[in-house]
Structure 1
Amino acid sequence: MTHIHSWRRLFCLCLALMMLLTAGATAAESDASSRQADLDFLYETLSTYHPNLFANTPESVFLERKAEIQRRLATVSDVEFAMDLQSLTALARDSHTSLALGGSLAEQMHFYPMALTWIDGKWYLSAAESETLLGRQVTAVNGRAMEEVVDSFRRLLSADNNVKLRRQYRQSCNVAEFYEYLELAEQGRPLVLTFSDGASLSLQAVDTAALSKMTVNRLSDRRSAAPETEAANAYYWSKFLRDGSCYIQYNTCQEDPELPMETFAGQVRSDLDAQPVQRVILDLRNNGGGSDGVIWPLFAALRNFPGQLICLIGESTFSSGIINAVELQEMGAVLLGEDTSGSVSHFASVKSFSLPGSGLRGGMSSKYIDLNTLLDAGAGRQVVPLEPDVAVPQTLDDYLAGRDSCIEYLYAHPERLSQAQHPDAPLTRGRFIGQIHQTAEPLFDSGTISDGSWDDPPFTDLFGIEWFRHPLNWAYQSGVAKGNGDGTFSAARVLTWQEAAVFLVRSAGALNLKPETVRSSPLPAQLAAPAWAQRELNQAWAWGLLPEDGDFAASPTRAQGLSMAQALVSRG
C-alpha cells in the first residue's frame, strides 16, 4: 500500500544540495557595495587559489560574466544575486568547486511538488501528489526535451562531466527559481511535464510553508521488497550472498570509529579463509568519497585472493570512491554497473570559504588528481566518467521488484568476467611487462623458468596491488626490468618504442627464446633517429617484433603491446 509522506521530508535532499557545506547565508538583504565585495572576493579567491580555474573556461569568459553580474548588483533579489554568483562558480566546470545556496535563501525559494529520477537511460516521475502518474517516463519540461533542460542547468551547476550534471539536476529539479533564472519557466506560470504517452502534468510552484503541508506519493513506496544489497546506514559491511560470493558494501571513504578498517579487513580475511569463494564483490555504488587511503587494509587482505574481484560502480560513485574503483581495476577487478558521476582524473581536495557580505559558503578544489599518470588503469583517461567494464544498468522493473540488477547479472553469469580491452589506450611500462609475462605463461608452467610469484614489490614506487606486480618481480629477477637507477620503475608511465625494444630483447634472453631474423630492411627513420637503445631497436626490428606499419611518432597502444608480446613468444 502506498504511504503518504510530507514534502518537507521528501525534499530534504534537495535543500541539502543547496546547503552543501552545512552552514548557510546570514544576510537576507545586501546593498550593492556588500554584493560587490562578495563578487570580488569570490572571483579573487577562485582565480588565486584554485589550481587551474581556467582549465575548462577561458579567463575572458569569467571576466565577461563577472561584468554582467556587476551591472545587476542593485536590481536583483538576494536569490537572483546568489544564483549569479553560482553561475560564475559553475564556469569552473569542476564538480568539487561550488557555491552553496542555503539558510535564509532556501526559505525564500519556491518548489514544484514533484521529483524526477533517472533509471536505465530515462527520466521518470518519482514523486507527485497524483499516485497514478508515478513511474511514467518524462520526455520534456515546458516543451523542451529533457536533454536540453539538463544541459541548460550547466549554467548553474558546476560539473566536470555529464553524469554529474544529470545527478545534480535530479537533486534540484523541483526548484522554481532555477527554471526561471535559466528562462525555462516564467514566474507565476505552471511547469508542465510531458510524458512519453503524450499525457502531461501541470505544476504550480509553492513556498516552503505550503510545501510542508502537502502530501506526496513516492515511486519507492511501490517497491514490493528491498534487495539484500540495499544501501545500509553503515560505513562498510560484508556478507555471503546466496551464490556463495563474498559481498562487501563500502559506502564512505571514512574509518568507522566502532569498527576500524584494519579490524574489518581482518574479519573479511578470516571469513574467506573459513569459506573459500570464487568471487569477492566490492560495492562502491553508494560511495561519495572521503579519504581514499582508508580502504588500503582491505586491499592488502584481498590482493592475493585467488578468485575474481568484482567492483560495482554507479552514478553515486564519486571523488575518493572513484580513486578506489580505479585502484581496484589496477588490482585486476572487473568494474560492473553504470557510469559514475565522478571523473577519473579530477580536481579535488576541497577547501571551504565564506563570502564577506552575504555569508554564503563555498568549496573549492585545491589540487588536481591525475590518475592518467598515477595508475596503469587510468592511462588515457582524463576528466571523463569512469565507465564499467560490463555495463549493467538498474532497471525500473528490478527496482520495483526489489531486485539488484547488478547482482542478478552476476547470479546469471557465474563464469569469469573480463575487463574491457581499450586497445587504443596508451601502453604503460607496467602493462607491457604484464603482457609479456601473460603471453609467456606456458613457459612458466613448464617449470623451467621462474615466474616471479614472490610477493614483495621489487621497486619502491609500486603500490603493491598492481595486477602486474608478479610479472614485474619476474622482470626484476631476470634482468628484464632494471628500473630508473634510483630504486623506482615508473610503472604507470607511457612506454616508448625504445623501451619496448629493450624489454623485448631482454625478455627473449630471460625466456631462452631465439627469434630468427625476418627483416633486412633498415629501421624506419623515426626509430633510427639518435636513441639510447639503438642496438635493441635494430634487433627487435630484425626479429619482426616491432610493427612494420607502426606510427612511431606516437606512443605504443595496448593492442600493439599485446601484438609485440605475442610475436616474441611465437617466433622464439
Structure 2
Amino acid sequence: MSTTKSVWVRLLTCCFIAMLVLSIGAGAVDQTELSARQSDLDYLYTTLKSNHPDLFANAPEAAFEARKGQIEQRLGTETSFDFALDCSSLTALAKDSHTSVSLGSSGYHLHICLFDMDLYDGTWVLSAIDDAHESLLGSEVTAINGFSMEQVLEKFGTFLSADNPVKLRYSYWQMCYVLEPYQYLGIAEQGEPMSVTVKNSTGKTQTLSVSAVDQSTFQSKDLSMLKDRQTGVAATAYDKTKTYFAKELNRSTYYIQYNQCTEDQSLPMKTFCQQVQSALNAGNYSLILIDLRNNGGGSDGTIFPFLELLAQQSYKGVQVAGLIGRKTFSSAIINAVELQEMGFPLVGEDTSGSVDHFGSVQSFQLPSSGLRVGISSKFISMSNYFDAASGKGVESLQPDVKIVQTLSDSLAGRDTCVEKILENPAILKSAECTEAPMTRGRFVGLLFQEAGTSILNIESQPFNDLLGIEWYLPALNWAKAEQIVRGDTTGNFSSARAVSWQEAAVFLVRTADALDIQPASVRNDAVPDTLKTTAWNQDAVQKAWRWGLLPESGDFSTAPNRAQGETMIKRLYAAK
C-alpha cells in the first residue's frame, strides 16, 4: 500500500487550513511579542470595522468587543497558533463566508490524526483508518471524544467563517483530521489520543482510539482508504486540471464541466464556445448538462458567452440543466442562479455558497504576525437582479431537483446525479416555489405563456436592465409591443422586483385590451382602501376588482406570491 495518502493533500492546499499549525508549548511571551499581538488584534478589528460593508449584520458590536476582550486576556500566554485561531474567531462573528483569516504554514508543523471522514447526504462516513480497523470503513461517524458531530460542528463554527450550515460542514471537512483545532476548542487534550465513535450498517457502535503524528513522520504510516475500494471512474469525474471542458455522454446528451469562473488562457471562453457550438451542430443532442459542482468561484462574467450559446440552444428546443453541490460557491452561485433565470432547472445538492452574500473580496495583512485576512467589500443581493432569487436570502442555493451522491455509487465509480437524469430526463423541472414573491418579469412571462403566442422575439432587448438571456425575454418583447408594459423613464423595467397588486391589475387589464378579452363583471362592492393608491392605476384596479381577478379577501399590504399571481392570470384567460 502506498505510504503517500492523497486525501491529506486537500488540507495542505487549502489557504485557510494552512493556518492550522502545531501549537508550540504554552508559556509567557515577552513584552515585544505581547505588544505585537495587541497591535495585530487592534489592526484586525479596526480594519474590519472600517472596511466591511456591514460587520455587525449578524452579531452586535458588543459581541465583537466582548470577544476581543477575551482574546486580550490571554495574549501573553497563548501560542502563536491559538492567537491565529483567536483572530479567526473574531472574524467569524461576521458570519460572512468570504471574510476570513488565512496564513502560510512557514515555520510550523501539523499534527495529523490517523483517520478521515467524508460526507454523504448529511452523514459523516469513515473514509480512512489504520489497517487494523479497515473493516469499519464506510461506517457512520457519530462522535469525536464523546462530542456528537452536531456539537463538534457547533464548536468549529466559533472560528470558521460560514454564512450557512453547508459551508460550515464543508470547511470542517477540509480540516477534520488535524489535531490542533480540536485542542483549541477543548474537544481533545494535549498528549491524549482522540476517540472516534462509529456505527456500522447493523447499528452496532464502536469507539476507536486514534493517534496523531507529526506531519514529517506521517508518510511512514499506512492507512486503509475507502477510496481504494473504488472500482471505476465516472465519465463526469472532476478533472481539476481543466478550467472547463465538454464531452458527449451519449448520442442525446452533451456535458460541460465548468470548474472555475475564470478564463483559461490556453482555451479562451470564446474559442471554447465555438468548439462547443461546432459539436452541437454536428450532433443531435436533446439535453445539455452544465456541471458547477466543483466550482468555487472567480469572476461571474466569464461564463456569459456560454450562457448566450445555451439560450440559443434552448430556443431550438434543447433541454438544459445545471448541476450544483456542496463545493459550488461564490461567483459559481451567481452563474447557477443565472441558469435558473434562463428557465433551466438545477439538479444536485445544496451549495456551500449562499444566494445573497457578502463578497467581492479584498485582502490585508496583519503587520506583525503576517496573517492575511480576506474581507468582503459589498453585499450581493441576488433578489435585486434575478426573478430566480425571489424570496431567497442568505441561505444555500437549493436545487430544483435534489439528488445526492451515494456512497455505493461513489465506490462503483458512478455519478448518482447524472445517471438518474439520463435514466429519466422527465425529472428536469423547475421547482414551483409557490410562496415566493411574484416578480414583474415572471408575471409578464406567465401572461405570455397563457396567451399561447407562438412568435418568439429573442433578438431585441426591450429594456436596458436586462441581461438578454432571461426565460421571459420573449414575453417582455411581446408585452412591450402590445403596450402591456412600458418601463420607466430611464428605459428600465425592474423585472426582478416584486409586482404590486396595483401593477398586476394594470398588466391584466392591458392584456385584456390587447387580446380583446372581455371579462364579465362579478362584483359591485367597493375596492378595498389598501388597493387605492395613485391615479395612474385606479381605472385598472377598479376593472380588475370588478372582474374578480383580484382576490376578494387578499392581504393587499404585501406583494402577491407566485401562486396568487398565477391565479389572477388564469382567471383572466378563463374569460377569453
TM-score by length of 1: 0.94
| Residue equivalent to 2:538 | 534
| Residue equivalent to 2:457 | 453
RMSD, aligned α-carbons: 2.0
- 1:394–1:243 Cα change, 3 Å: farther
Is the Cα contact below 8 Å between 1:94 and 1:159 reproduced in 2? yes
C-alpha distance in 1, partners of 2:535/2:440? 18
| Residue equivalent to 1:469 | 473
Counterpart among 130, 144, 148 of residue 147 in structure 2: 144
Matched, 1:100 2:98: no
Q: What letter corresponds to residue 371 of structure 1 in structure 2?
A: M
C-alpha distance in 1, partners of 2:212/2:535? 69
Matched, 1:242 2:250: yes
Matched, 1:4 2:15: no
| Residue equivalent to 1:544 | 548
C-alpha distance in 1, partners of 2:427/2:125? 34
Q: How does 1:136-535 map to 2 (within 5 A)?
A: 136-196=139-199, 197-232=204-239, 233-242=241-250, 244-305=252-313, 306-415=317-426, 417-441=428-452, 444=453, 451-530=455-534, 532-535=536-539
Q: CA deviation at 1:362?
A: 1.5
Q: CA deviation at 1:231?
A: 0.7
Q: What letter corresponds to residue 303 of structure 2 in structure 1?
A: I
C-alpha distance in 1, partners of 2:47/2:8? 31
Is the Cα contact below 8 Å between 1:24 and 1:104 reproduced in 2? no
| Residue equivalent to 1:32 | 34
Q: CA deviation at 1:297?
A: 0.7
TM-score by length of 2: 0.94
Q: Percent identity?
A: 47
| Residue equivalent to 1:115 | 116
Is the Cα contact below 8 Å between 2:11 and 2:17 reproduced in 1? no
Query: What whole-Å deviation, never above 9, does each CA across 1:120-179 have from its counterpart, x for those lacking one?
Result: 221111122223232111111112221221121100101000000000110111122211
Q: CA deviation at 1:17?
A: 2.9
Is the Cα contact below 8 Å between 2:103 and 2:370 reproduced in 1? no
| Residue equivalent to 2:557 | 553
Q: What letter corresponds to residue 148 of structure 2 in structure 1?
A: A
Counterpart among 46, 49, 70 of residue 47 in structure 1: 49
C-alpha distance in 1, partners of 2:535/2:58? 37
Query: What whole-Å deviation, never above 9, does each CA across 1:437-485 have from its counterpart, x for those lacking one?
Result: 11221xx25xxxxx45342111111100100000000001000010012
SS of residue paired to 1:282:
strand
Is the Cα contact below 8 Å between 1:308 and 1:416 reproduced in 2? no
Q: What letter corresponds to residue 525 of structure 1 in structure 2?
A: D
| Residue equivalent to 1:14 | 11
Q: What letter corresponds to residue 38 of structure 2 in structure 1?
A: Q
Q: CA deviation at 1:521?
A: 1.3
Q: CA deviation at 1:207?
A: 2.1
Between 1:141-150 and 1:464-473, the stretch displaced more is 141-150
Gaps of 5+ in 2: none
Query: What whole-Å deviation, never above 9, does each CA across 1:272-291 have from its counterpart, x for those lacking one?
Result: 22213111100000100000
Gaps of 5+ in 1: 446-450
Query: What whole-Å deviation, never above 9, does each CA across 1:472-529 have from its counterpart, x for those lacking one?
Result: 0000100001001221111111111111111000011112211111111111121135
C-alpha distance in 2, partners of 1:237/1:529? 54
Counterpart among 79, 82, 85 of residue 80 in structure 1: 82
SS of residue paired to 1:11:
helix
Query: What whole-Å deviation, never above 9, does each CA across 1:184-235 have from its counterpart, x for those lacking one?
Result: 1222222111111211211122222232332222211111000000011201
SS of residue paired to 2:361:
strand
Is the Cα contact below 8 Å between 1:343 and 1:386 reproduced in 2? yes
Is the Cα contact below 8 Å between 2:307 and 2:469 reproduced in 1? yes
Q: CA deviation at 1:88?
A: 0.6
SS of residue paired to 2:426:
coil
